[in-house]
Amino acid sequence: MSAKPATARATPAWDVERVRRDFPILATRVHGKPLVYLDNGATSQKPQAVIDAVSHYYETGNANVHRGVYALSESATAAYEGTRSRVARFINAREDREIIYVRGTTEAINLVASSFGRLKVKAGDEILVSAMEHHSNIVPWQILAEQTSALLKIVPMNDRGELLMEEYQKLLTPKARIVAVAHISNSLGTINPIKEMVERAHAMGVPVLVDGAQGAPHLVVDVQDLDCDFYTVSGHKMFGPTGVGVLYGKAGHLEAMPPYQGGGDMIRSVTFAKTTYAPIPAKFEAGTPDIGGVVGLGAAVDYLGTLDRRAALAQEQDLLEYATKQLGTVSGLRIVGTAAHKASVISFVLDGIHAHDVGTIVDQAGVAIRTGHHCTQPVMEFFHVPATARASFAFYNTREEVDVLVEALKGVRKVFG
Amino acid sequence: MADLTELYQQTIVEHNRSPRNFKTLDHPTHHADGNNPLCGDQISLQLAVDGDVIKEVGFQGSGCAISRASASLMTSAVMGKSSREAEQLFQAFHDMVTGGPNAPADPAALGKLAAFAGVKQFPARVKCANLAWHTLHAALHSDGTPISTE
């Protein structure tokens, strides 16, 4: 392993070794080597506090919510609703009822496309998405466009992976009904200028949905400051369990929107002649929710609350800078996505070697990276690559792990002689 | 622990670097396209079949080393064979890379294709090795529908 650079660390306050001990999986080995987990963009690892909260809930607190009059159901309801308040504070929502529990970002976007779309989008209207969106922020809008004969318009980007704001401005016409854009690109790492994009859209009366799947884990999110109309979060990418996420929506929008799914818990009263719906957030939470997942999400939010988030983000930026520099020493390596404002996500290709081979070979060194199109096929097409390898860092990663990745990548060349 | 050199055998590395029959045919009688959407492997396969004998095979496309070398070695292996013989070879190859019931006791029975015996230790890569063969199967049945490993 190479020696630590002599340059001062940007994050003296960040005790990464202490933080790593909070995540039991980081002590495991793969193929006999210490796990180097660099696929945080796909899903993050879970701290012991989250694992314990979920098992503790099932061991001592499991009951359905909003139903029973008995103590256990009341405590489950309190845990479920208590998490809603903590999530609201976590992203600085104005009110708890602006937080809708969903399965994740994908379901959140589908909910808005289906419900808000039905309410607002008509034939000939335009829906704006960016050129760097994840499939989950493209396909729901395509389905809506097909159903309503609306048009999908694409905000283009430059070859660094930055959106072209002047083109965006031109697309904000009186026909535009909604803008859907990623806070952070999952395949390029670009941090988009959301506040400015929202301002420009609002000046034209157009609401904005922000795909926060990568935003919530990497940035301190303040939905009131961003002034976005919708913000979507996947719990499992921000150290919580899989299967639970959040749709934030401004109360005025959510109140006006028709239900997404019908069922129990979302009604005020049901007769065969007429059903009236519950107020938000219950209107959008039909059926028994993932209560255990919500409890785990609450524990993840609490865990993040115990950390110095600014120092955590500085650690990630340090890893981004260090990895960008070190990857530059691998012959034939090209980084895809070189925006001025990036999160700790690095996509790259090795000249003449397919990403899938790269992934298999570095796995043998214990390094977990994502290879493929990252559910962003239009981005791959834009950069004329079939696939990339992607290293995505969390605050528990280290410079030493970057070194292991770089050494493993140098080994890839040796396999191909 | 699976060993990388078992996956990336010299034969595979060499065929990846210089694939055989990487060309389009002048007079193809059958063709099919295959793709592996998860990793972005794409292959376009052409056959010139005379009677029941595969006289010529050509492929184009891009993909990982395993898929490319597999296509290259497949084209050489099926040339001059009947479609029935080619299908039997596919079955034996498939069983070898998946560890299936009809896998040859000694992979050497498959000649150069034995280079892919190590693939079974890398389950995520089995579909890379099989892509060209699935595409061959589709071409021989020539309904023209692109095939996908997903």
The pLDDT tens digits for B44-69 are: 999 999 999 999 999 999 899 999 99
Residue showing tokens 């699935």: B134
Give the per-residue pLDDT at B148: 66
Give the per-residue pLDDT at A73: 92
B8 contacts in chain A (CB < 8 Å): 357, 361, 415-416
Residues of B engaging A, defined by a Cβ cutoff of 8 Å: 1-2, 4-5, 7-8, 13, 16-17, 37-42, 62-66, 122, 124-125, 128
Positive or negative CA dihedral for A101, A107, A111, A117?
Answer: positive
pLDDT band at A1 (very low <50, low <70, confident <90, very high): very low
B13, B40, B125 ranked by CB distance to A373: nearest: B40
A417 contacts in chain B (CB < 8 Å): 13
pLDDT band at A7 (very low <50, low <70, confident <90, very high): very low
B125 contacts in chain A (CB < 8 Å): 356, 360
- Please indicate whether, in this complex, the C-beta atoms of A386 and B125 are within 8 angstroms of each other: no
- Please indicate whether, in this complex, the C-beta atoms of A355 and B16 are within 8 angstroms of each other: no
**A149 reaches B (C-beta below 8 A):** no
- Partner B, chain A 363-392, Cβ-Cβ below 8 Å: 364, 371-373, 380, 386-387
CA distance B70 to chain A (A): 14
**A87 reaches B (C-beta below 8 A):** no
Give the per-residue pLDDT at A366: 97
A31, A372, A380 ranked by CB distance to B38: nearest: A372
Residue showing tokens 């690892």: A45
Give the per-residue pLDDT at B149: 63
The pLDDT tens digits for A34-52 are: 999 999 999 999 999 999 9
Give the per-residue pLDDT at B143: 54
- Please indicate whether, in this complex, the C-beta atoms of B39 and A416 are within 8 angstroms of each other: no
- Please indicate whether, in this complex, the C-beta atoms of A357 and B63 are within 8 angstroms of each other: no
Which whole number is the average pLDDT over A167-196?
98
Which whole number is the average pLDDT over A6-34?
84
Q: Active site residue: A375, A378, A382, A407, which one?
A: A375
Contacts of B105 (CB under 8 A, 6+ apart): none
User: What is the secondary structure of B81-147 as a DSSP string?
Assistant: -BHHHHHHHHHHHHHHHHT-TT--SSGGGGGGGGGGGGGGG-GGGHHHHHHHHHHHHHHHHT--PPE
Which whole number is the average pLDDT over A101-112?
98
Which parts of chain B sit beneath pLDDT 70? 1-2, 143-150
- The helix (run of H) or strand (run of E) holding residue B34 is strand B30-36
A387, A415, A416 ranked by CB distance to B40: nearest: A387
Give the per-residue pLDDT at A67: 80
Find which of B10, B13, B39, B42 to mutate to test the A interface (most A CBs within 10 Å of its CB): B39
Average pLDDT over chain A, rounded to an integer: 95
- Please indicate whether, in this complex, the C-beta atoms of A415 and B8 are within 8 angstroms of each other: yes
Whether the pLDDT of residue A325 is over 90: the answer is yes
Contact by Cβ (8 Å): B70, A357:
no
Dihedral pair phi/psi, residue A330, rounded to 5° = -90, 125
Contact by Cβ (8 Å): B103, B118:
no
Q: Cα dihedral angle (A137, A142, A143, A145), rounded to 10 degrees?
A: 130
More confident residue, B92 or A11: B92
Which whole number is the average pLDDT over A361-380?
93
Which whole number is the average pLDDT over A176-200?
98
Give the per-residue pLDDT at B146: 62
C-alpha closest to that of A217 among A403, A35, A47: A47
Would you call A375 a catalytic residue per the annotation?
yes
Give the per-residue pLDDT at B1: 43
The pLDDT tens digits for A266-304 are: 888 998 988 999 999 999 999 999 999 999 999 999 999
A371 contacts in chain B (CB < 8 Å): 39
- Please count the residues of chain B: 150
* CA separation, residue A88 to residues A92, A246, B149 (Å): 6, 10, 43
More confident residue, B99 or A212: A212
B66 contacts in chain A (CB < 8 Å): 356-357
Determine the Cα–Cα distance for residues A390 and A187; give it in Å rounded to an integer.
Answer: 7
Give the per-residue pLDDT at B40: 76
- Partner B, chain A 338-357, Cβ-Cβ below 8 Å: 353-357
- Sheet harboring A151-155: ordered strands across? A99-102, A245-249, A230-234, A208-211, A176-182, A126-130, A151-155
pLDDT band at A413 (very low <50, low <70, confident <90, very high): confident
Q: Which of A73-87, A337-351, B106-120 has the lowest mean pLDDT?
A: B106-120
- Please indicate whether, in this complex, the C-beta atoms of A416 and B8 are within 8 angstroms of each other: yes
Which whole number is the average pLDDT over A386-400?
96
Q: Give the three-class secondary structure for A52.
A: helix
C-alpha closest to that of A210 among A284, A134, A312, A150: A134
- Please indicate whether, in this complex, the C-beta atoms of A386 and B40 are within 8 angstroms of each other: yes
Give the per-residue pLDDT at A11: 46
A32, A364, A417 ranked by CB distance to B13: nearest: A417
